[in-house]
Structure 1
Amino acid sequence: MNKVRFQLSRWQHLLALGFGAGLAPKAPGTFGTLVAIPFIMAFAALGLTWYLAFLVAGTVLGVYICGKTADDVGEHDHGAIVWDEIIGYALTMLLVPISVQSVVAGFLLFRFFDIVKPWPIRWFDQKVHGGLGIMLDDILAALPAWLILQLLLHYQLLN
């Protein structure tokens, strides 16, 4: 079996691997999701316009870097590619006031939907390939997580 060779000296690999977090031997997606927290906090502090700019730019960039990295190593959606988790979690936290409680709740909800991949997330994960496919299932996993967070906030079950 060939050993996958990531090159962190290549900017596409560095970003796709969440600055190396995706190389964690266990639960790389979880470690990649943790990398999103400083981005979420920084862009939330800058305001909605900058947060949205980060999400849009990060998504477009993600399609490229995730697809390029997957092509470079010859494996579609290798577990070490975690930029999709970073953007998915950031989308989950859109318009959510930042607190320890909201960050933890958003993290758990996003990871749940990203791991379980209920329909239609699983369908898209299996049918859409390339960089778009790598990004799309995490974007879709963020939507129910975001909706649940918004409901928790609306009913004041989350600070």
Structure 2
Amino acid sequence: MSRFTGISMRNPIHFLAFGFGLGLAPKAPGTFGTLAALPFFVLMQDLSLPVYAAIVALMGVVGIYLCDKTAKDMGEHDHPAIVWDEVVGMLITMAALPSGWHWWLIAFAAFRFFDILKPWPIRLLDRHVHGGFGIMIDDVLAGFFALAVVQGLAYWL
């Protein structure tokens, strides 16, 4: 049992929503939770872009349920420990990522920037859309903003 009432890391829904436990980090759970995307990326990086995008889209749809169910079980909307949304957002950012570890760092920094800063319209969605879709949508959009930055840098550098 975790420190949250009604939450168990033995429950696969909670385990995934908490990013395999990384979301339970006492400081910066979103940053640690974002790291849970990296093993997925390692496994998926050589897939064609359509297959990669389909898997990430499926993870996003499943994430709506995971995040909604876990938030309801916790009795709190979008608790910081729920980080499956960060996993999906980071995977969006890393789509068609150029080769090299420095691109991983650039993608990570770009995603965290947009996820933390939440520029318009991300902040609007974060404040006004609720449930599992609300938990997911701001990070999905942050992922697309970060993807644009990463791909722009890749094009111009």
TM-score category, normalised to shorter length: over 0.9
Amino acid at match of 2:21: G
Task: Tell me the distance in 1 between the aligned counterparts of 2:136 and 2:143.
Answer: 11
Tell me the matched-pair count.
154
Aligned-pair distance for 1:52? 1.5
Q: 1:18 to 1:98 in 2, by over 3 A?
A: farther
What do residues 82-138 of structure 1 show as CA deviations (whole Å, max 9, x unaligned)? Answer: 000000000011111242111000000100100010111000000000000000000
- Cross-structure match for 1:81: 82
Maintained 8 Å contact 1:70/1:76: yes
Moved over 6 A (4+): none
Q: How is 1:1-159 mapped onto 2 (pairs within 5 angstroms)?
A: 4-5=4-5, 6-156=7-157
- Please list every run of 5 or more consecutive structure 2 residues that lacks an aligned counterpart in the other structure: none
SS in 2 for 1:45: coil
The question of whether the paired residues in 2 share the 8 Å contact of 1:7 and 1:13 is answered with yes
C-alpha change, 1:98 and 1:39, in structure 2 (3 Å) is farther
Identical amino acids, percent of aligned pairs: 50
Closer, same or farther: CA 68–78 of 1 in aligned 2, 3 Å:
same
Taking structure 1 as reference, are residues 99 and 113 closer, same or farther at Cα in structure 2, changes over 3 Å only? same
Secondary structure in structure 1 of the residue aligned to 2:9: coil
Report the aligned-residue RMSD.
1.1
User: Could you tell me how far apart the structure 1 residues matched to 2:46 and 2:8 are?
Assistant: 32
TM-score by length of 1: 0.93
Query: How far apart are the structure 2 equivalents of 1:98 and 1:132?
Result: 32
- Supply the distance in 1 between the matched residues of 2:51 and 2:45 (Cα, whole angstroms): 8
Displacement of 1:4: 2.4
Quote the offset at 1:61 in angstroms. 0.4
**Larger deviation, residues 88-97 vs 78-87:** 88-97
Structure 1: gaps of 5 or more residues: none
Task: Tell me the SS of whatever aligns to 1:25.
Answer: coil
CA distance in 2, matches of 1:109, 1:144: 8
